[in-house]
Structure formats: C-alpha cells, structure tokens
Amino acid sequence: MPAISFEGRSYPVAAEQSALDALLAGGVEAAHSCKAGTCGSCMMRAVEGALPEKAQAGLKASWKAQGYFLPCVCLPDADLSVAKVGSDARWGAAITALERLSSDVLGVRLTCDTVINFRAGQYITLLLGGVLARSYSIASLPGGLDIEIHVRRIAGGKMSGWLHDTAKVSDRVQIQGPSGDCFYLPGNPDQPLLLAGTGTGLAPLYGILLDALREGHKGPISLFHGAVDEGGLYLRDQLRDLAARYTNLEYTPCLLRETDGSMACGSIEQVVLRRLPKLTGWRAFVCGDPVIVNLLRKKIFLAGAASRDIYGDAFVPSALT
Amino acid sequence: MHSEYIFMSATQSLYEQIGGEAAVNAAVDVFYRKVLADDRISRFFDDVDMDRQIAKQKGFLTMAFGGPVAYTGKDMRTGHARLVAMGLNDSHFDAVVELLGRSLAELNVPANLIAQVAAIAESTRADVLNR
C-alpha cells in the first residue's frame, strides 16, 4: 500500500483511493471542491515520487514542471511526498550591486549564500529585519548564486525607499521563495512568443527572454514594453542590442502619451493588437500592473491564443506600502 | 457521489460519447471565447483571474456533458448568488446555453448529443437563477 507523506506525517492510500481522500481520511484539512480534477482548488506540489499522468492532466506546462498536481484525481501507485503550493523556505543573501536603470527603477543584484533553484520570471520575496516583506520578479538566469531584480520607487514605499536611498553593497537580506508560474519552458521551440508588460513588468519578461534565447528558441519573439513616458522605459540599449543579434527578436517600446512619432503610441494592448491582431498558436507572457495584465490576458485570449498558453504575473501593490 | 445532475445511459455515458476530459479541454477555450465576446453576458464572466474562470468553465462543461462532477443544487445556488444579485436572469441563461450549443456544433459534436447537453444545462436553471 503506497503512502503519502505530508508535513512530517505519513498517510496510507487504499486501493482506488485518491491522494486527497487519503489526506482527508487522515484528518488533514485539505482544501477541495469538485473532486473531479476540474476546479483546481485542491492543487498541491509533489516534492518526491512519481505522479500518475492523470494527476496532472489539463494543467499548465509551467505547473507540471514544478510538480503541481490535483490530489483529487491522483491515485498513487508508489509513495509520494507532497507539500502545499508555494514555498516557505528562507535563504540568506547579500546585496552585491546597485545600478540605476532609469530615474525611478533600480537594478539590484542579490548574491545568495547557496544556489536557489528558480526559473527566470518567477518571483522572490525580499525580507528585511524580519518585518518588511515585498515580492520582486527575477530578471536574471538561474545557474549561479546571483538573482537580479528591478525595484521601482514607490511613493512612501518602505522597501523600495530603503533600497533606493539607504541600501549599500554588502548589506544582508533574506529571501523567501521562489514562487510563480510565469516562466519559459523549453519544448515547442518554433512557437511564436509574445512578451508584453508595463513598468517593472519588464523584469520577469527580460528574464524569460534571456531564458528563451539561451534555450535556442527559434520561433519569432515579440517583446512589448509600455510606459507612461520615456522615463519609464529602461534597458532600451540592451534590448536593442539583443534584437540586433537575434533576428527572431522584435523589441517594441511604447508610450501611453503622444510622442514625436518615433515610437509606438497608445495603451499597450492597443499597440500589441495593432501589430499582432491574430495570436492563434502563440505563447504569451504578460506582466506588470494587474489591471493591464488582466486586460491583456483577455485580449490575447480573444485574439486566438489558447488559455493554457497564456502566462501572467500581476503585480499587486502591498497594502502596507 | 452526491450529485443532482447525473444522467446515465444503458451503454456508454453521454460524457464518454462526447469524448470525456479531452472534449472538455477542447471545448473550454472555444466556449469561453464566445462568452467573453458576447455583450449580453460577458460582464458576468469577466473575472479578474482568467485561470480561475477557465477552471470554473471546465467544471461547468464537465457537468453539462454528464461527467463526474459532484456539484449539488446548493453549490449551484451559492456559486451563482453573486451573479443573480448582479442581474443574472433567464435571458442570460438562454444565451449561455445557446453559446454552449454553438461551441459544440463548431467542434462537430452530433446534434443529438448537443440536445442532451442542453437538457442537462437546462435542469440547473432554477438553482443557477436562485429560484
């Protein structure tokens, strides 16, 4: 009889019993609703052990890659170790570089004490002094100790204010995570990719872009970065250089306000859909302001992209500033 | 399983005849795209979280296909109470059933099966509209 281990305890699974039922029978208050593999409310993460294929049927590729599965339709045939979705692990890190990317965006390089397993485009939570916690997307590639984030100065923001005004190289912080399902996965290298975002939504998109290029993605890649005015655009030289080096990459900076005509103008979803009115078969990543992200996701879906090919990361501002 | 909406056939179930979970996955985008593009009803489905909406629509389609979903009449009522407060009525329910039928026709589901799906959807009307 296989067993499921969860938070330090072991739960036996009877024949034809689902992982969810085994946990419920053992007294775990596991969230659930439909018990048929459709609503997604019972989703968990497999830490160890092989999942039956059915347990991940219909999930997004980026969820599958992280071991996410639906316990209600998981009939384990071997032992499984499972955890709640998300990660509470904490890691120490030092600030090793601070670089002004634009008038209000600061690039911060964190060097972790140990290699953290993440994917570009996921986010980490930065913890300071045990009380202050803010989430930032990862703009750099995995493989070493470094994690780069982009921090926009928020009026009255405690963490962004500290990073912009006070923090210096070698200051210590803590990191929690990584989390998030908005990242590039190899496979399907000819699929066209749309990357669109506003403000520091460029951070995860930049990481995703670097990842896709490193993986040798061959299909067209179209990156749109929107800002209110020119001061909000950053990494322009780096992106222009990349677009010159990789012929399949197109970089479109766009401004909300009227410009001299040298740059695309209008809200980002208008600019995207003017350029790419038909998105059937595309894989899309959208990041930044939640209102814009949700609008973009919907427009991209209506333009023909499959729902499971649309990855979004909406930046929800902290209620505590 | 406790469900008010289980429809059995002597041989193969409707859910199996339509194509089961694969059919749900194929239909969900076609159906939800029609719903979002339809001015009569889009406001009821315009959730901020698209992944959550897609999951809900999969649940709905699984149920309408006679599949294994354990929604009860009470689930239906509580699940739609907010929409009823927003003005959800028979005309909107009709529009959803119409779009569901058009989606399945587009996917070449035979008319007799579409009629059975519509009948299952129809059987939830009173609960959905909280009457």
pLDDT at residue A32, as a whole number:
80
Judging contacts by C-beta atoms under 8 Å, the chain B residues touching residue A297 are 50
pLDDT per residue as tens digits for the range A261-311: 788 888 999 999 999 999 999 999 999 988 899 899 999 999 999 999 999
Side chain identity, residue A216: G
Buried b / exposed e over A235-244, threshold 16 CB at 10 Å, is beeebeebbe
The answer to whether the bond into B110 is cis (omega within 30° of 0) is no
Tell me how far apart the alpha carbons of residues A48 and A78 are, in angstroms, rounded to a whole number.
Answer: 10
The answer to whether the bond into A178 is cis (omega within 30° of 0) is yes
- Å from A56 to nearest chain B CA? 12
Tell me how far apart the alpha carbons of residues B102 and B123 are, in angstroms, rounded to a whole number.
Answer: 19
Query: How many angstroms separate the first and last alpha carbons of chain A?
Result: 51
pLDDT band at A87 (very low <50, low <70, confident <90, very high): low
CATH topology of domain A90-179: Elongation Factor Tu (Ef-tu); domain 3 (2.40.30)
Judging contacts by C-beta atoms under 8 Å, the chain B residues touching residue A40 are 51-52, 55
Q: Do B62 and A38 touch (CB under 8 A)?
A: yes
Judging contacts by C-beta atoms under 8 Å, the chain B residues touching residue A295 are none
Between 3.20.20.70, 3.40.50.80, 3.40.50.300, 2.40.110.20, what CATH number should domain A193-314 receive? 3.40.50.80
Give the start-to-end residue ranges of the domains of chain B: 18-128
pLDDT at residue B11, as a whole number:
67
Burial of A5 (0-12, 13-18, 19+ CB in 10 A): middle
Tell me how far apart the alpha carbons of residues A61 and B127 are, in angstroms, rounded to a whole number.
Answer: 35
Superfamily (CATH) of domain A3-84: Beta-grasp domain (3.10.20.30)
- 8 A C-beta contact, residue A61 and residue A185: yes
Instruction: Give the containing element (helix H, strand E) for B80.
Output: helix B73-85
Range with top average pLDDT, A127-131, A148-152, B69-73, B79-83? A148-152
pLDDT at residue A265, as a whole number:
87
Q: Helices (DSSP H) in chain A: which residue ranges?
A: 19-25, 61-65, 158-165, 202-214, 236-245, 268-275, 290-302
Question: Which CATH architecture group holds B18-128?
Answer: Orthogonal Bundle (1.10)
- Å from B36 to nearest chain A CA? 8
Q: For B48, which of A35, A58, A294 is closest by C-beta distance?
A: A294
- Is residue B116 predicted with pLDDT exceeding 80? yes
- Is residue B50 predicted with pLDDT exceeding 70? yes
Q: Interface pTM (ipTM) of the complex? A: 0.82
- Please tell me the pTM assigned to this model: 0.81
- Å from A12 to nearest chain B CA? 22
More confident residue, A171 or A38: A171
More confident residue, B23 or A263: B23
pLDDT at residue A318, as a whole number:
63
Which token pair is A271? 């600019």
